[in-house]
Chains A and B, each alone.
Chain A
Amino acid sequence: MAPPADARLRLETARLTALFGPRAVLTDVSIPFPARTVTAVIGPSGCGKSTLLRCLNRMHELSLGGWVTGRVLLDGADIYDAGVDPVRLRRRIGMVFQRPTPFPTMSIHDNVAAGLRVNGPRTPVEVEQAVERALRQAALWDEVQDRLRDSALALSGGQQQRLCIARALAPEPEVLLLDEPTASLDPAGTQRIEELCHELKRRYTIVIVTHNLQQAARVSDYTAFLFNGELVEVGRTEDLFTKPVQERTEAYITGRFG
């Protein structure tokens, strides 16, 4: 299903196939990710959701034996072109993982600033501003502004996850990848992250992997359903959940398998 004409395509996969050695875990997947929208990727465990996400910032190729065919277009340019430096690319695409991964040796402030330092020189004032902006965007500023020098490990799990979101946002990426960001959080923490998605999509293009169908329905504009490494269906979230085209999609969202 084509996105509306006013939503420019920020990111797009074209016949993307991801492999570990000879074994394909994702086959011929073509999904558009329109700018300033949230796209949810759903599907049963092992269907390739996380692998898809990891192909979008070239993290997949860091896994042992990981490689891809097909294309991933960021603003029309293939990120797998020979001239693209994956390290520089990852500075344009932020990622947040399933479990919070604050750097244990760093303070709250330094965690948020961690991605800034590799992005070229900045004055201390610029760093301070970027840290505050990122923490505000991640809805964490009010809770931590008085203890920026404390260890990041002093925060609760939900706060740590928002800290990781702030860390990903600080270098001002264009795309934000969320890999089951609420999997290890309690309901309150989950709700905060979901609210955050609504806030953040005004500025960022978000791709969120989730195994929670209600969450996909709540936060996303578009939903892609993957099964066994193949794209079954992608479309507007409300359409996909109310009148799915594919039999398998209906079976999955009504809980008949997966």
Chain B
Amino acid sequence: MSARQLRRRLTSGLMTGLVAALSFAAVLALVLILGHLVAQGASSLDWSFFTKNPVPAGEMGGGVANAIVGTGIIVGLAALIGLPIGVGTGLYLAEYGSGRLGWLVRFVADVLNGTPSIVVGIFAWTWLVKPMGHFSALAGSVALAVLIIPMIARTTEEMVRLVPHSLREAALALGYPRWRTSLRIVARTALAGIVTGCLVGIARIAGETAPLLFTALGNLNFTTHVLGPMQTLSLQIYVYATGPFDEWHRLAWAAALVLMALVLLLALSARRAMRQRHGAAR
């Protein structure tokens, strides 16, 4: 083996080792978080944790049923508002967004994507909570919707752009009007990718706390009334974790584990949707 070959092999080995170590570091963060959550929270997960509401401070027991249901309602409502707008915007950007307006929308979406979520929360407070005169789950959902729209819009645009131009031409040559080509052929081909983007977006907002602090506020009681204050898992964790009681800390760990499991579940479904797409496209 010549000296040069040896040097190449050494460099190659070194670089491979380096990137492997860095990947390990990235994965390690998730493993540590998950491991710690399971260690601290799993023991508190019992039937009453999921079915009971919080008990007054100082008392033992109680659960987070109100927060689980609240998270479902607030995130669900945010998705209901945000997904159609986001997907529609993304479709517009990909199909018709080559002009000045498209550039503007894209720019706004990118800026909005980078806006700190607490700022969005302040605006939701100013525009919804203050005029309405009280905190509400709806205001929280709107804040989360504002966060999810640019994410969904941009991923939808990317996914639609991945659809080969030849498919579009094939549909147009068959006598499809343009709008029908966009919906029936292009959007449908990109559907798995769009669904994946939506699931990832929902996972992102499911854990948001800051925009809910002064919109949904939190609520120790079970409620499904969207025009009043409502609890979410993230708010519950915030209150319990910063509180003085060991019992609260225990519940905060368990709630964090549940929230993490929820996000993990969404991420796994997203993977699954993506795989189906590749399965179909082979």
> B275 to nearest A CB, angstroms?
15
Within the assembled complex, what's the spacing in Å between the Cα atoms of A227 and B77?
62
B170 proximity list for chain A (CB < 8 A): 97, 101, 103, 164
Asked if B174 CB lies within 8 Å of chain A CBs, one says yes
Give a binary string over B154-191; 1 marks a CB under 8 Å from any A CB, 0 the rest. 00000000001011011111111100100001001101
* Any A CB within 8 A of the CB of B282: yes
Known: A57-B173, A115-B175. A153 touches B188 (CB 8 A): no
CB of A104 to closest CB in B, whole Å: 6
Contact B280 A151 (CB under 8 A): yes
Q: How large is the interface on B (under 10, 10 to 19, 20 to 34, 35 or more residues)?
A: 20 to 34
CA distance A31 to B172 in the complex (A): 25
Q: How far is the CB of B238 from chain A (nearest CB, A)?
A: 43
When the two chains form their complex, are residues A87 and B282 in contact, meaning their CB atoms are under 8 A apart?
A: no
Question: A170–B216 Cα gap in the complex (Å)?
Answer: 57
> Chain B CB within 10 Å — which of A105, A114, A168 has the most?
A105
Does B281 make an interface contact (CB < 8 A)? yes
Which of A103, A119, A151, A153 interacts with B167 by CB under 8 Å?
A103
Contact B185 A103 (CB under 8 A): yes
Residue interface mask B256-282, A partner, CB < 8 A = 1:
000000000000000000000000111
Interchain CB contact (< 8 A) of B166 among A57, A88, A99: A99
CA distance A179 to B20 in the complex (A): 48
Q: Are A90 and B191 in contact (CB under 8 A)?
A: no
In the complex, chain B residues whose CB is within 8 Å of the CB of A91 = 174-175
Smallest Cβ distance from A122 to chain B, in angstroms?
Answer: 14
A59 is an interface residue with CB less than 8 A from chain B: yes
Q: CA–CA, A164 to B180, complex, Å?
A: 19
CB-CB < 8 A to A119: which residues of B? 175
Contacts of B171 in A (CB 8 A): 103, 114
With A59-B169, A99-B166 known to touch, is A104 a contact of B189 (CB < 8 Å)?
A: yes
B281 contacts A153, C-beta separation under 8 Å: yes
Across the interface, do A153 and B175 meet the contact criterion of CB distance under 8 Å?
Answer: no
Cross-interface CB contact of A97 among B169, B177, B180, B281, cutoff 8 Å: B169
- Distance (Å) between the CB of B209 and the closest chain A CB? 39
Type the 1/0 row for A142-173, where 1 means its CB is closer than 8 Å to any CB of B: 00000000010100000000001001100100
Looking at the assembled complex, report how far the CB atom of A134 sits from the nearest CB atom of chain B, in whole angstroms. 12
CB neighbours of A97 from chain B (8 A): 166, 169-170, 173
Expressed in whole angstroms, the Cα–Cα distance for A244 and B280 within the complex equals 50
Contacts of A167 in B (CB 8 A): 174
Beyond A103-B189, A118-B180, whether A87 also contacts B281 by CB under 8 A is: no
Chain A residues, Cβ within 8 Å of B173: 57, 59, 90, 94-95, 97, 168
Q: How far is the CA of A104 from the CA of B176 in the complex (A)?
A: 17
Knowing A151-B280, A153-B281, A153-B282, say if A101 contacts B174 (CB, 8 Å).
Answer: no
For the complex formed, measure the closest distance between the CB of A193 and the CB atoms of chain B, giving whole angstroms.
17
- A114 → B minimal CB distance (Å): 6
User: Nearest residue in B to A89 (C-beta to C-beta)?
Assistant: B175
Q: Could you write out 20 A-B pairs with CB less than 8 Å apart? A: A87-B175, A87-B176, A87-B177, A89-B175, A90-B172, A90-B173, A91-B174, A91-B175, A94-B173, A94-B174, A97-B166, A97-B169, A101-B166, A101-B169, A103-B170, A105-B189, A118-B174, A118-B175, A153-B280, A164-B170
Beyond known contacts A87-B177, A89-B175: 4 more, CB 8 A cutoff: A97-B173, A115-B174, A118-B176, A168-B173
Interface residues in chain A, defined as those with a beta carbon under 8 Å from any beta carbon in chain B: 57, 59, 62, 87-91, 94-95, 97, 99, 101, 103-105, 114-115, 118-119, 151, 153, 164, 167-168, 171
The 10 closest A-B CB pairs, nearest first, are A91-B175, A101-B170, A95-B173, A115-B174, A90-B175, A101-B166, A105-B188, A87-B177, A105-B189, A118-B175
